[in-house]
Structure 1
Amino acid sequence: MRITGVKIAYYFICHTKLWLFSHNITLEKENDNVNIGKLIHEDRYKRDSKEITIDQTITIDFIRKGDTIVLHEIKKTKSMEAAHRWQMLYYLYYLKSKGINATGEINYPLVSRKEEIVLLEKDELDMENVINDIRKIAMGRMPQPKRTKICQKCAYFEFCFGDEV
């Protein structure tokens, strides 16, 4: 099974969403929040190269190269900051496995903030555990949805809680 950056993020957001996505049940294309995020990306970062996909596994919003390679991810809000951080760590981990050392930067243009990300040895060990957990979740039965404050804006909300709306 291919572990993608999206799966890493979903692992930290919702295991049900991760399972659904891993089984090719994707509902993001019609979601307003996802589309707003794409518009912010296109509007604020017009000059930068857009979406570099590597091995159909990671998709980086853009890359800047000076003395070092810096991967950039653009996010609408910091509400899922841990998921964003781990997604970037996975990109760095994946590239390091290919012999490419880089750092990361998560950009939050609506709040004019950015977070620099560096892959540490401990992160690499933790990433192995996350990857193993993702495989177990994807190969198992669909986890029961757990309603949280972020569910209301999720593309999968009706799928998980449609009868409770």
Structure 2
Amino acid sequence: MHLTGKHINYYHICHRKLWLFHNGISFQHTHENVADGSLLHQTAYPQRAARYREVQLDGIKIDFYDPQDRVIHEIKRSDKLEHASIAQLQYYLYVLERHGVREPTGLLEYPKLRQTQTVVLTDADRQAIPDWEASIEQLVNRPECPPVINKLLCKQCSYYEFCYVAE
């Protein structure tokens, strides 16, 4: 199974969201935060398309990669779920290393906040990521969907109505 960046991100946010996404249940095309994030991604740094490369490798898609400096640029609308964004970027770095890229780094960018954070891959991350992969595979192959987590962040999720609105 090839994992995507979304698998890693969702794993660190909500196992139910991960399971639903992996099993083809998605409401992202109708959610305003997703549309806002896509627009931000297209307009925040218009000069990037010419300078950087898109990389697709082992199921991941890196939109902005600088092969000369070995830097991944990952754009996010908000830092509210930063731990999941960092994990996603660490996974991208891990996949690049697995394919022979030496010492890649990442920049997590929040254009609306005018903030940037450097992300590197540590030995502890290299040891943890195979556990993430195994855990994700187990979670998404369960026959039943994990329960709701009932957290404040759920209200902003594209799956909110699916999880919380009774018929």
Q: Is TM more than 0.5 here?
A: yes
Partner amino acid for 2:29? K
Identical aligned residues as a percent: 34
The alignment status of 1:149 with 2:131, answered yes or no, reads no
> Displacement, 1:153?
1.2
Paired position in structure 2 for 1:22: 22
Deviation digits for residues 45-83 of structure 1, max 9, x if unmatched? 1110288241361122312244x2100100000000000
Paired position in structure 2 for 1:160: 163
Deviates most, 22-31 or 41-50: 41-50
Partner Cα separation in structure 2 for residue 47 and residue 78 of structure 1: 23
Aligned length: 163
Q: What TM-score, normalized to structure 2?
A: 0.91
Partner amino acid for 2:23? H
Change (3 A) 1:153 1:8: same
Paired position in structure 1 for 2:112: 110
Deviates most, 55-64 or 147-156: 55-64
Alpha carbon RMSD of aligned pairs, Å? 1.6
Partner Cα separation in structure 2 for residue 60 and residue 51 of structure 1: 8
Partner amino acid for 1:105? L
Partner amino acid for 2:99? K
Any stretches of 5+ residues in structure 2 without a counterpart? none
Q: Match of 1:76, SS?
A: coil
Q: Confirm or deny: 8 A CA contact 1:51 1:59 kept in the other structure.
A: no
Paired position in structure 2 for 1:43: 43
Deviation digits for residues 85-119 of structure 1, max 9, x if unmatched? 00000000011111113110000011111110111
Change (3 A) 1:6 1:122: same
Q: Match of 2:101, SS?
A: coil
Q: Confirm or deny: 8 A CA contact 2:3 2:58 kept in the other structure.
A: no
Partner Cα separation in structure 2 for residue 25 and residue 53 of structure 1: 26
